[in-house]
Structure 1
C-alpha cells in the first residue's frame, strides 16, 4: 500500500500595515528614489506566493534560514532572500552527502573525503558531486546550477549585476525547494569494500542476502549499476570460489526485476568484451550468468544458439544413455527453463523440436514419466513454425520422430497425445491436413 504524504498549508500572517509605508519613509529620509527597492506590488505578489513553496519544504527543514528568507521577502529584499534559501539548499545537499556516507564517497572518488573536505567544496563542485552520486538528477543539476549563477550575480552574497523582481525570485525559490529541499530523504551509499568482501566470503544465509539486496536497492541507480557489474565480473572469474559465484547470483536474482536498461546494457558490454578478447572461460561463465537470471533474451541470436544447443544436446545424450528414464528429468527441466526466456533461434528450431518430441514419445521401452510434464509444457509453448516442424517430422520416415512413429506403436500413440496438447488455432494451414490425419 502506497503511503500518501499530506502536505499542510503554511499560513503566513498578513504583511504588517506599517511595513510598506515604512519603506517609502526610509527612502525619503535617505533621499533616494523609492524604486531602488522592490515595489509594493512585487512584495505583495511574492508574499502571496510564498506559502505554496513553503509547504513543499519538510517541517524539519523550515529553520532559521527559511525564516530569514521570509523576513527579507516581506521587505522586498529579494537579493537577500535568494541568498538565505540558497544557503539552506546547500546545507541540505551536504547533509544528503553525509547520509550517503563519506567513506563511500571516498571509495568512489578514490581519495580521502572527510567532513572538512565536504565543507570546503565550492558550490559548483558540490553540485557536480551530487550529480555523480545521483542525489540530484540531470534536471536538478541543470536548474540548481542556473540558481548558483543567479545567486552569484544577483543576490546579496556579492555585488550585484542588477535586480530581480518577484517572479524571478519565486522561480529561484521553486527550484531550490524542488531539487534540494522538498525531499529530505536521500540514497545511502554501499561500502564497496565491505560489499566485495561479503560476496567473496562464506555462503550467504537468507537474512544476509536480503540485507545486501536491500542496501543495493536503497542506493542510487549509478552505484547499483556499478556494483551489479562488479559481481558479474566476480561470477565470471575462473578463480572465483563457488560460494562467491552463488552469492553473486543470489544478489542479482533479487535485483533482476529492477534492472534498468542502462544496467542491462552494461552487462551486455562486459559480456561482449569477453568474446572480443577471446576469454573463453569468462564467456562461458557469462552465458551461464545470463541464463540463470533469465536474461538470455538480451543476447544476440548466435549467443542464444550456443546456450540452447548445449541444453538440447545434453538432453539428447542423456536420453540415449544408460538409465535415461531416471536421468532425463533435470535435463528436460533445464531445457524448459531456457526455452521460456525467449524465442528459439531459427538456426536451432528443428533440432529443438526433433529432440523434445522424440523424448516425449519415447522409444520401444517407454518414456521417462518424471520428465513428461516438462516435455508437455515445452510442446504447449511451440510456436506455429515449431508446430509445423513437429507435424512434418512425424510423417518423414528419415527424421528422428518419423522413424520412431513408423516402427513403434507406443511412440505413435504418444505422438497423438503430444499433438493434442497444441491449441488447434496454432496449427498452420500448410500442415493442417497432415495434423488432422495424425490425430485421427
Structure 2
C-alpha cells in the first residue's frame, strides 16, 4: 500500500511596504537606473507564485537554502534565488545517491565510489549518474540539464550573460522542485544481502523463484544489471553448490528475454575476464551458463567486443574530460583503426554510434578539429543498421545525440554535415522519412 503524501499549503507573508521602496531608494543613492534590478511588478508576481511551488517541497526539505531563496525573491535577486534552489536540488540528488548505496554505485561504476567521490562530482556528472541509477528519468535529466546551463550562465554563481525575469525564474524553480525536490523518497532497490543469501540457499520452489524474478524486473536498470552479473559469478564459482547454481539459472532464465544490451555487455566482459586471467574452471562454467540460457552466440565476438568497449570508453572519457579538443584525436584514431578490422559487434553498435556521432557534432562549445577526419571515416563506414541507429537517435530526445541536437544550434548544423557523409543508398527505408526531415 502506497503512503499518501499530504501537501501542505505555504502561506508566505505579504511583502513589507518598506521592501520595494527601499530598492528605489538604494538605486537612487547609488546613482544607477532602477531598471538594472527586477521591477516591482516582477517581484510581486514572483512572490505570488512562490507558495504554489513551495507546497510541492516536503516540509523536511524546506531548509536554509529554500529560506534564502525566498529572501532573494523578495528583493528581486532572481539570479541569487536560482543559485540557492539549484544548490538545494543538488544536495537532495546527492542524498538520494547515498540512500541508493555508495557501495552499490561503486559496483555499478566498477570503481571506487565513496563520500569524497560523490562530493567531487561535477553537476553534469551527478545528473548523468542519477539518470544511470534511475533516480531521475529522461525528462528529469533533460530539464535539469537545461537548468544547469541556465544556472551557470544567468545565476549569481558566475558572471552572468544576462538577466532573468520572474517568469523565467519561476520556470527554473518549478523544474528544480518537480525533478529533484518534490519527492523526498529514494528509489527502492533489491536487498542485495537477502538476494545473494536466497540464491545460495536451498533450491527455489516456483513461487520463490517468481518473487525474485519479479523483484529484479521491477528494480532499476542499473541494479538489475549488477545483480544479474553477480549471479553469473555465483554460477561460475567452482565452490558454489549445485542448488545455488540452479537458482542462478532460474533467475537469469526468467529475465533473459529482456536482457538489455548493457546486461549482455557485462556478461561478455566477465566471461572474457575469465579467459584473460586463465580461470579455466570459471571459463568452462561460464560457457555452460551462456549455453543453458541460449546466449552462446553472443560469445562468438566477445574478444572484439572487449576491444571495442574499451576503445569507445576511452574516447568518451576523453571527450567529457578536460581539454577534450586536444585529447580526443589519438583516441579517435585508435577507435578508427579498430573499426576497420571488421564489423562492429552488434552488442556495442549503439554505444559506438552514440559516441562517434556525439563527438563529431560537438558539445555546443565546438569540435576537436584534429579528430574530425577520423570521425568522418568511421561515419562513412556505418552499416545500414548503424545509420538507422544514428537517425533514430537524432530524433529521440532521451539520447545524447538527440539532446545535443535539440538544445544547440551548432550541433544541429554539424549533424547535417554528418548526414551528408552517408550515401543515400545506405539509408534504410524505415528511417528514410526521418532522414529527409533532418537534412532539410
Superposition TM-score, scaled by structure 1 size:
0.54
Match of 1:286 in 2: 293
Would you say the 8 A contact 1:232–1:286 is kept in 2? no
Segment of structure 1 superposing worse, 15-24 or 279-288: 279-288
Q: How does 1:155-174 map to 2 (within 5 A)?
A: 155-174=155-174
Instruction: State the 1:213 CA deviation.
Output: 6.7
Q: CA RMSD in A?
A: 4.0
Would you say the 8 A contact 1:65–1:84 is kept in 2? yes
Q: Return the alpha-carbon distance in structure 2 between the equivalents of residues 25 and 220 of structure 1.
A: 55
Instruction: State the 1:140 CA deviation.
Output: 1.1
Superposition TM-score, scaled by structure 2 size:
0.54
Match of 1:91 in 2: 91
Distance change >3 Å, CA 45–CA 116, structure 1 → 2? same
Q: How does 1:262-411 map to 2 (within 5 A)?
A: 262-263=258-259, 281-282=288-289, 285-286=292-293
Would you say the 8 A contact 2:102–2:114 is kept in 1? yes
Secondary structure in 2 matching 1:147: helix
Would you say the 8 A contact 2:20–2:40 is kept in 1? yes
Q: How does 1:249-268 map to 2 (within 5 A)?
A: 251=251, 262-263=258-259
Instruction: State the 1:44 CA deviation.
Output: 1.1
Q: Return the alpha-carbon distance in structure 2 between the equivalents of residues 218 and 283 of structure 1.
A: 24
Render the CA deviation track for 1:90-136: whole Å, top value 9, x for unaligned.
10011001001111111111222111111111211211111111111
Q: Return the alpha-carbon distance in structure 2 between the equivalents of residues 267 and 125 of structure 1.
A: 22
Distance change >3 Å, CA 233–CA 117, structure 1 → 2? closer
Q: Return the alpha-carbon distance in structure 2 between the equivalents of residues 271 and 38 of structure 1.
A: 57
Match of 2:176 in 1: 176
Q: Return the alpha-carbon distance in structure 2 between the equivalents of residues 208 and 98 of structure 1.
A: 30
Q: Return the alpha-carbon distance in structure 1 between the equivalents of residues 212 and 158 of structure 2.
A: 47
Match of 2:142 in 1: 142
Q: Return the alpha-carbon distance in structure 2 between the equivalents of residues 270 and 113 of structure 1.
A: 19
Match of 1:379 in 2: none
Q: Return the alpha-carbon distance in structure 2 between the equivalents of residues 260 and 271 of structure 1.
A: 12
Q: How does 1:12-27 map to 2 (within 5 A)?
A: 12-27=12-27
Would you say the 8 A contact 1:236–1:286 is kept in 2? no
Render the CA deviation track for 1:196-248: whole Å, top value 9, x for unaligned.
57524554699997996787477423322452465478669999643114433
| 1:119 and 2:125 are equivalent in the alignment | no
Q: Return the alpha-carbon distance in structure 2 between the equivalents of residues 58 and 27 of structure 1.
A: 37
Distance change >3 Å, CA 15–CA 270, structure 1 → 2? closer
Instruction: State the 1:266 CA deviation.
Output: 7.6
Render the CA deviation track for 1:75-102: whole Å, top value 9, x for unaligned.
1000000010000001001100100111
Match of 2:152 in 1: 152
Q: Return the alpha-carbon distance in structure 1 between the equivalents of residues 70 and 38 of structure 2.
A: 15
Secondary structure in 2 matching 1:57: coil
Q: Return the alpha-carbon distance in structure 1 between the equivalents of residues 130 and 267 of structure 2.
A: 30
Match of 2:248 in 1: 248
Q: Return the alpha-carbon distance in structure 2 between the equivalents of residues 108 and 236 of structure 1.
A: 20
Match of 2:428 in 1: none
Match of 1:102 in 2: 102
Q: Return the alpha-carbon distance in structure 2 between the equivalents of residues 271 and 237 of structure 1.
A: 14
Render the CA deviation track for 1:318-369: whole Å, top value 9, x for unaligned.
xxxxxxxxxxxxxxxxxxxxxxxxxxxxxxxxxxxxxxxxxxxxxxxxxxxx
Which has the higher Rg, Structure 1 or Structure 2? 1
Would you say the 8 A contact 1:58–1:183 is kept in 2? yes
Segment of structure 1 superposing worse, 68-77 or 191-200: 191-200
Q: Return the alpha-carbon distance in structure 2 between the equivalents of residues 222 and 190 of structure 1.
A: 11
Q: Return the alpha-carbon distance in structure 1 between the equivalents of residues 239 and 68 of structure 2.
A: 61
Distance change >3 Å, CA 264–CA 158, structure 1 → 2? closer
User: Which consecutive unaligned segments of at least 5 residues does structure 1 have?
Assistant: 289-440
Would you say the 8 A contact 1:188–1:218 is kept in 2? no
Instruction: State the 1:261 CA deviation.
Output: 8.2
Secondary structure in 1 matching 2:293: helix
Would you say the 8 A contact 1:107–1:192 is kept in 2? no
Would you say the 8 A contact 2:225–2:263 is kept in 1? no
| 1:40 and 2:40 are equivalent in the alignment | yes
Q: Return the alpha-carbon distance in structure 2 between the equivalents of residues 269 and 154 of structure 1.
A: 41
